Copies of this chain bind each other. A is one copy, B any other.
Amino acid sequence: MRPGARSARKALYCGPPWPRVFELTARDGLARQGVLETRHGRVTTPALLPVVNPNHPIVSPKDLAVRFGAEILITNAYILGKGALREPVLRQGVHGLLDFPRAIMTDSGAFQSHVYGDVEVTNPEVIGFQRAIGSDLGTMLDPFSEPEHPLARAQADVDETIARAKEAVALRGEMDLVGAVQGGLHEPLRERCAREVSSLDIAVAAIGGVVPLMESYRFRDLVRVILASKKGLDPSKPVHLFGAGHPLVFPLAALLGCDLFDSAAYAKYARDGRMLFADGTRHASEVRESGCACPVCAAHPMAEIAKDEVLLAEHNLHVSFAAVREVRRAIGAGEIWELAERRARAHPALLDAMRELRRHNDFLEESEPLSRPGAMYYVGPETAHRPVLHRYRRRLEERYATPAARGLLVLPEGPRPYGERYRGIVERALSAADVHPVVKSVWGPVPIELDAVWPLSQSIIPDTLDPEALEAAEVFFRQWAAGAGYGFGVLWEGDATLEELRARAPGPRSVEWNLLRVRATADFQFGRGAAEALLRGPISFVVSKNTGKVRNVLADGQHILSLRAEDGLFTLKAAGAVRLHAAFPSPRLRVVAHPDAIPFLREGKNLFAKFVKEADPGIRPGDEVLVVSPEDELGAVARAAMNRREMLAFKRGVAAFVREGVPPPPSAPPR
């Protein structure tokens, strides 16, 4: 567990139970695991909201809660408001009518309005009705923008959406609002709509108008729409993806930061005799045997399932809820990218969607945690384009200082750790031949001193790589080598080099491996110049007895850094923080806290997001940060839990886990 995580977990629920709050419990890329508080209990996200048709509930709401663990459902205010149910629901409330004690979201009927064109109600009427029936989350009546709508039409829709969102906010009373994001395929429109709607007093932002994309497997367009919306959305608000009910899309949608899905698919597909699976849909009549472990499939022969709509619906629910749990598990384990990449192999259109992601790496990278436990598995050539590797290559270019050497020794990709594997040749290269060994890895170039940094240190790749991955390795390498000022004339490659180096070097001489590693890692992690700033004075290391690896770094006798075995990166100590603070000007590495918070931070209390006033835009979740006062006085060293955008947006939750408070500087230097 990360430092401070326990206290953060506790802090999560210590506020008032109401008004509603969304708080993160884990994160992975744009994906979040969180808890949404409602008047009818907490909802763990990502969550699936089964759609309940109040006229024909194929599985009763009570069963949804008890047997399937649904913490929230969604039903249609349009259906409730126009038929025979109108009077009963107004009398009993929606929770009473449905006999569901947990959270209920209501939909406004915008989709029905769009499809049937027969909704005569107005936005204020819909809001009023949802309030009257006690909906926990009521939805505004938004115009439905078709993907094919031209710019002008989509623009008008967005203007109308924003106007109606404002109207809904004015009328919401105690009810929490779901605000819609429209804009068709027009990315700037989506971003604007998202920004304006989510800046209002809404509880949930819902990305709408995407059902036609999902129905026709236009997942690449879905990616563009979601990401454009996410760029504008307030990150502290949960995001609902309207109409996303097929488990095939859950990993991708969660990866892109969607928190809530609603599913009518379980019922609709059951009615057509179709079964949902995590990898697609199959007609029950064509499935001789179900390769599914769910209680329905484990207990009933297919012949029975195929002709029983309720069993089909229950199977679909089991599969869908399990798929959402799998997404939550993957987020908790830092494996959402792996899950999404693997699932993408289920349909070529998902592969196209994954390929689209790399175009958005600058945005995706902002939310990517620094590292995660465990190895990184190669799924396909797309793996090398994950934002965390995009960041690796960028930080390598921007932060890592290439050593002065006559040239590069290019080592081939191979099992990790590279340093161990190539020990002899590396020592000769470094000590005698004045040549810098760098591995041409499929993840990007790896200077040998950085081979213990995650994920370079821990990754599992096939023996035989596909041409796309090899080509990417080549491109990554050449870009970096050119940027680092290595002329190609001095590239050395292959086995011949070993012989040449042997000839030049009489035998292995001692290389200051530890110092090389520490210097390179410090610059890579904190920025170019960090090694210089941190490693002033006499340097010593505390080395692990078991592994022989550096554990602590001391400078001038002060403990400034600890090296983490898990990810090969540093934990910053107070003495190190002081040095970086002095060397790097504001805002670098800084999180600026409210002055009132400083004394508590100095005592080691965590920094909550609501006390953050500013932050370095370069900070990423997991980065070591300097917590300072508005006057840039150092108060603590901490590990960021959020990036700047999130720190400024969230009103709840920990922005940075404080490792150590830093006392105010003494008025006079010690003697």
Interface residues of A (CB under 8 A from B): 68, 220, 279, 282, 286-295, 297-299, 318-319, 321-323, 325-330, 332-333, 341-342, 345-349, 351-352, 355, 377-381, 460-464, 466-468, 471
Contacts and interface: CB of A to CB of B under 8 A. Distances in A.
Contacts of A347: 377, 460
A220 B468 CA distance: 21
A291 B327 contact: yes
Given A279-B342, A342-B279, A380-B380, A352 B298 contact: no
Contact of A348 (B68, B328, B460): B460
23 contacts: A286-B333, A287-B329, A287-B333, A288-B328, A288-B329, A288-B332, A289-B325, A289-B332, A290-B325, A291-B322, A292-B326, A293-B319, A293-B321, A345-B379, A347-B377, A348-B462, A351-B378, A351-B462, A352-B464, A380-B380, A466-B466, A466-B467, A468-B468
A467 B471 contact: yes
A297 to B, nearest CB: 7
A456 to B, nearest CB: 16
> Chain copies in the assembly?
2
Contacts of A464: 352, 355
B468 A289 contact: no
Nearest to A287: B329
A295 B299 CA distance: 9
B322 A292 contact: yes
Nearest to A292: B322
Given A220-B463, A279-B342, A293-B318, A348 B377 contact: yes
A345 B355 contact: no
A8 to B, nearest CB: 15
B467 A330 contact: no
A522 to B, nearest CB: 31
B291 A298 contact: no
A291 to B, nearest CB: 2
Contacts of A292: 293, 322, 325-326
A246 to B, nearest CB: 15
Nearest to A351: B462
Given A342-B279, A346-B342, A467-B467, A329 B289 contact: yes
Nearest to A333: B286
Given A355-B464, A377-B347, A380-B345, A323 B279 contact: no
Contacts of A282: 333
Given A342-B345, A348-B460, 19 more contacts: A220-B463, A287-B329, A287-B333, A288-B328, A290-B329, A292-B322, A292-B326, A293-B319, A293-B322, A294-B298, A295-B295, A298-B318, A298-B321, A342-B342, A345-B380, A347-B377, A347-B460, A355-B464, A380-B380
Contacts of A330: 291
Nearest to A461: B348
Contacts of A463: 220, 352
Contacts of A295: 293-295, 298-299
Contacts of A318: 293, 298
Which of A287, A292, A462 has the most CB atoms of chain B within a 10 A radius of its CB? A462
The 10 closest A-B pairs by CB, nearest first: A291-B326, A293-B322, A293-B294, A348-B462, A295-B295, A351-B462, A291-B329, A291-B325, A467-B468, A293-B318
A665 to B, nearest CB: 43
A216 to B, nearest CB: 13
